[in-house]
Amino acid sequence: MNAPATPKYAAYLCSGCGIGDKLDVPSLEKIAQKEGKMAVVKSHPFLCNAEGVQMIKDDIANDGVTHLCIAACSRRAKAEAFSFPEAAVSRANLREGVIWVVAEGSEHDEVRQEMAEDYVRMGCAEVKKMKVPGGNVKEASSKKILVVGGGMSGMTAALAAAEAGYEVALVEKSGALGGFANNLWKRVPFAAPYADAQPVGAAELAAQVSGHARIKVHLNSTVAETSGAPGRFAVKIAQESGSVAEELCGAIVQATGFTPYDLAKLPELGGGQPNVVDQAGLEALAKAADGGPIKRADGKEVKSVVFVQCAGQRDTTGQHLPYCSGHCCATSIKQATYFKDANPDVDTVVMYQDLRVPGMGEDFYRSAQDKGVVFTKGKAGKVSGGDGCKVDFKDLILNEDASIDADLVVLATGQVPNAGVNLDEWTATVTAAESGDEAAKIKKGELQKISVLNLNYRQGPDMPQFKYGFADSHFICFPYETRRTGVYAAGPTRRPMDMLQATEDATGAALKAIQAVENAARGRAAHPRAWDLSYPIARLEGCTQCKRCTVECPFGAIDEDEKRFPKFNEERCRRCGTCMGACPVRVISFENYSCDTVGMQIKAVNIPDEFEEKPRILILACENDAYPALDMAGIQRLSYSAFVRAIPVRCLGSVNTIWITDALNSGYDGVMMMGCKKGDDYQCHFVKGSEMAYYRMSKIDDTLKQLGLETERVQTLEVAITDNARVVKLINEYVDQIKEIGLSPMKGFG
């Protein structure tokens, strides 16, 4: 619902949790009334208890209050108690942000009170520029889940969603469900006592999926086109017969699995030579043996076998896979027991550099040792194939060269994700094709054929990939979730993993897909702001068509209409505000978060004149990592300077440079921007926000010089959520640096 035409503003101050003991609350009430222009101002000794909350609810219901500022604890605390969906709400952080971080002692009373007064001013200023978001529910219509890939991950995801009560469409490019698991003789044990390889179970799972009333299976099919957004993905499914089926889906799980690393790329390890196989090749031999003695392709029974771990993996030369594929050690242990179970006299050696076995793999390793499998720590340098194979290796324990003969050599070659088109390659190819390059046009068609999702997005047909080709997913904060809202990655297409991890992964992805369709139906953001009903609004009459918002959006949520103005796909939007930070003319905003809501907070702070020797430093802190770190500093009673004023921002990518220039023009002595870690191992909840902020701020030096200010007055810092002690050190050191530089010459001119 939108706020009434005549808003009524109220401020509610809490004196509990020691706030009333450290601060002059009546003075804060006067600030809210006289400077904040609040029509209703009340305080309560325990604002978050039932009585205090009811007082606020009564004012909303009976006194027409539409906008309220709550001056109490951090906005990250008591969120449920202070949830008033029918009103616009701002929070002034007096507990974690003031009384818990300003050092004890009467000499600090004045600056502590000044800090609290500013936060009350800021909270009142913010709420006056806020509206109650109405949510975007105009187009979401489907709660069906599309699962792409019919292997163990895909089948598990489909079954999990169906058992939860949701319709599922499952697309598999081959003629049968099961995927890579169909190639396995047995699987690594996943249940006690973890001593022996267990049946794969792919056929049984496939039967469950095929017979489920809520799952529609499309075999011999691929996704020809995906358009739309969460709640309304229109998917065209191309079938081998030439016909095209259409599904309207609310969310997508991509579980397209992996391909083993190409054995032919490892000639130095015998790739391509007789009697040198990869782990997939050994599974084929084991299936053919059906529990009996395993024979080579030439029919000779294997009497000795060597497993070479990390073949083409963990490679530092740049030629092969730089990563560990996770499952390979346990898989080799499993395959070694194939030989020992059929014939205990087979000489079975596993040559490893580091033995890595997830889960209960240690028990399986001990069981294999008991069966007579030999484990030797060594690094293979050369493998010669033929009727008799030879492995030359470096013994890493004795530190000497050695060799071993075998009838068969098995290389653990690792997983290469089936993630579709690399968007960097796609963009370069499309750009060249549009300029008339005929070779690029042909290559574009070839890339289109390997696309998995064929997304109708301006950024390209598949999800962005990490540098190793895996589907983009934030492995720390948001596993499964990709840069395409409502599209989730599961299994080895997301990261290397074994079968047990893949099925657990698939269940998590299915739950995330369900969350996405439910949020879309309610007009809410998917994640991480899953409760947020706001969405971006553009004042197009002021738009200069610079395209910065469309280019910088990390999630492909902004297209262009026929007049080249930005066109927002609200259901794709994560509400990070990166578009708002990118806009040079500030025409993009959200109902409850805008250039004005932050800008007015910045301007509301009382800036002391140059003679008071009290610097004012603005902190723009990411609400996902940096602001929680500040809160944790307060909870641990770590003291930092009372000269700073912190404003939480949705993402550092939402920071518009106007906030920086306004702050400096107003007489702030410095600005600290605190965001998440950027780069390949980024921790930014919105992927690119921190990176974009660094890029934008790198260009602000010229503005500072034009204002006659030192470049040190603006800092951009990476702060993790666990950096509570470090953030205190950063603040106090920066305050000392500002004192050394001197107060801003802009004071008195704001």
CB proximity list for 675: less than 8 A, separation 6 or greater: 622, 625, 626, 651, 652, 684, 689, 690, 693, 716, 717, 718, 719
Number of residues written out for the chain: 750
Mean pLDDT, residues 151-179 taken together:
98
Q: Are residue 487 and residue 394 in the same domain, yes or no? A: no
Task: Determine the pLDDT at residue 354.
Answer: 94
Q: Are residue 275 and residue 388 in the same domain, yes or no? A: yes
Q: Are residue 266 and residue 364 in the same domain, yes or no? A: yes
> Is residue 3 scored above 50 in pLDDT?
no
Mean pLDDT, residues 298-327 taken together:
95
Residue percentage of the chain with pLDDT more than 70 = 98
Q: Are residue 498 and residue 557 in the same domain, yes or no? A: no
Q: What CATH number is attached to the domain comprising 542?
A: 3.30.70.20
Task: Determine the pLDDT at residue 134.
Answer: 84
Task: Determine the pLDDT at residue 471.
Answer: 85
Q: Are residue 551 and residue 515 in the same domain, yes or no? A: no
* R_g of the chain, CA atoms, integer Å: 31
> CB of 608 within 8 A of CB of 643?
no
Mean pLDDT, residues 163-183 taken together:
98
Least confident of 470-484, 613-627, 720-734: 470-484
> Which pLDDT band, with edges at 50, 70 and 90, does 5 fall under?
low
- Residue 657: inside a domain: yes
- Residue 432: inside a domain: no
Q: Are residue 252 and residue 265 in the same domain, yes or no? A: no
Task: Determine the pLDDT at residue 474.
Answer: 66
Q: Omega into 193 within 30° of 0, i.e. cis?
A: yes
Total Cβ atoms within 10 A of residue 661: 17
Total Cβ atoms within 10 A of residue 418: 23
Mean pLDDT, residues 204-218 taken together:
98
- Crossing angle for the helix pair 724-741 and 626-635, to the nearest 10 degrees: 100
> Is residue 683 scored above 90 in pLDDT?
no
Alpha-carbon torsion, ordered 685, 690, 692, 694, to 10 deg: 180
Q: Which of 555, 530, 552 is closest to 472 using CA atoms?
A: 555
> Is residue 731 scored above 90 in pLDDT?
yes
Identify the domain boundary among 473, 492, 521.
Answer: 521
Could you give the angle at the alpha carbon of 78 between the alpha carbons of 73 and 81, nearest 5°?
Answer: 125
pLDDT tens sequence across 43-53: 999 999 999 99
Burial state string for 718-728 with b = 16 or more CB within 10 A and e = fewer than 16: bbbbebbeebb
Q: Is 80 exposed, middle or buried (0-12, 13-18, 19+ CB in 10 A)?
A: exposed
Distance CA 444, CA 527 (A): 33
Spell out the SS3 assignment of 63-97.
CCCCEEEEEECCCCCCCCCCCCCCCEEEEEECHHH
The helix (run of H) or strand (run of E) holding residue 670 is strand 670-675
Q: Are residue 296 and residue 252 in the same domain, yes or no? A: no
- Residue 575: inside a domain: yes
> Is residue 42 scored above 60 in pLDDT?
yes
- Is 155 strand, coil or helix? helix
Distance CA 202, CA 205 (A): 5
- Residue 531: inside a domain: no
CB proximity list for 391: less than 8 A, separation 6 or greater: 306, 308, 351, 380, 382, 383, 403, 404, 405, 406, 409
Q: Are residue 567 and residue 684 in the same domain, yes or no? A: no
Task: Determine the pLDDT at residue 139.
Answer: 66
Burial state string for 183-200 with b = 16 or more CB within 10 A and e = fewer than 16: bbbbbbbbeeebbebeeb
Task: Determine the pLDDT at residue 235.
Answer: 98
- Residue 220: inside a domain: yes
Q: Are residue 407 and residue 267 in the same domain, yes or no? A: yes
Instruction: Decide which of 698 and 423 is more confident.
Output: 423
Kindly give the residue spans of alpha helices, DSSP state H, lying in 605-723: 626-635, 657-665, 689-697, 701-706
Task: Determine the pLDDT at residue 140.
Answer: 66
- Is 709 strand, coil or helix? coil
What the block records as the tokens of 163 is: 């058992």
Mean pLDDT, residues 88-99 taken together:
97
Q: DSSP for 28-67, please give it.
A: HHHIIIIIS--SEEEEETTTTSHHHHHHHHHHHHHS---E
- Residue 400: inside a domain: yes
- Crossing angle for the helix pair 438-450 and 423-434, to the nearest 10 degrees: 150
> CB of 409 within 8 A of CB of 385?
yes
What the block records as the tokens of 264 is: 């032919």
- Residue 313: inside a domain: yes
Phi, psi of 276 (to 5 degrees): -120, 115
Question: What is the pLDDT of the chain when averaged over all its residues?
Answer: 94
Q: How many domains does the chain have?
A: 5
Identify the domain boundary among 351, 382, 417.
Answer: 417
Q: Are residue 29 and residue 160 in the same domain, yes or no? A: no
- Residue 527: inside a domain: no
The order of strands in the sheet holding 233-239 is: 221-227, 233-239, 244-249
> Is residue 748 scored above 70 in pLDDT?
no
> CB of 488 within 8 A of CB of 481?
yes
> CB of 518 within 8 A of CB of 571?
no
Mean pLDDT, residues 242-260 taken together:
97
> Which pLDDT band, with edges at 50, 70 and 90, does 650 fall under?
very high
Distance CA 674, CA 211 (A): 52
| Percent composition of the chain: helix, strand, coil (DSSP 3-state, to 5) | 35, 20, 45
Task: Determine the pLDDT at residue 475.
Answer: 60
The order of strands in the sheet holding 88-93 is: 40-44, 9-14, 67-72, 88-93
Q: What CATH number is attached to the domain comprising 615?
A: 3.40.50
What the block records as the tokens of 717 is: 């810092």
Task: Determine the pLDDT at residue 190.
Answer: 93
Q: What CATH number is attached to the domain comprising 357?
A: 3.50.50.60
Total Cβ atoms within 10 A of residue 343: 15
Burial state string for 432-461 with b = 16 or more CB within 10 A and e = fewer than 16: bbeeeeeebeebbeebeeebbbbbebebbb
Mean pLDDT, residues 54-78 taken together:
97
Residue percentage of the chain with pLDDT more than 90 = 84
What the block records as the tokens of 7 is: 């808003």
> Is residue 623 scored above 60 in pLDDT?
yes
Phi, psi of 247 (to 5 degrees): -130, 140
Identify the domain boundary among 480, 497, 521.
Answer: 521
Burial state string for 30-62 with b = 16 or more CB within 10 A and e = fewer than 16: ebbeeebebebbbbbeebbeeebbeebeebbee
Residue where the block lists tokens 């010229």: 702
Task: Determine the pLDDT at residue 103.
Answer: 87
Q: DSSP for 87-128, please give it.
A: SEEEEEE-IIIIITTSPSSGGGHHHHHHHHHHHHHHHHHHHH
> Which pLDDT band, with edges at 50, 70 and 90, does 337 fall under?
very high
Q: Are residue 235 and residue 216 in the same domain, yes or no? A: yes
> Is residue 331 scored above 90 in pLDDT?
yes
Q: Are residue 267 and residue 413 in the same domain, yes or no? A: yes
Distance CA 203, CA 206 (A): 5
Task: Determine the pLDDT at residue 106.
Answer: 79
> CB of 715 within 8 A of CB of 734?
yes
Where in the sequence is the domain holding 125, given as residue range(s)? 1-132
What the block records as the tokens of 541 is: 């009459």
> Is residue 506 scored above 60 in pLDDT?
yes
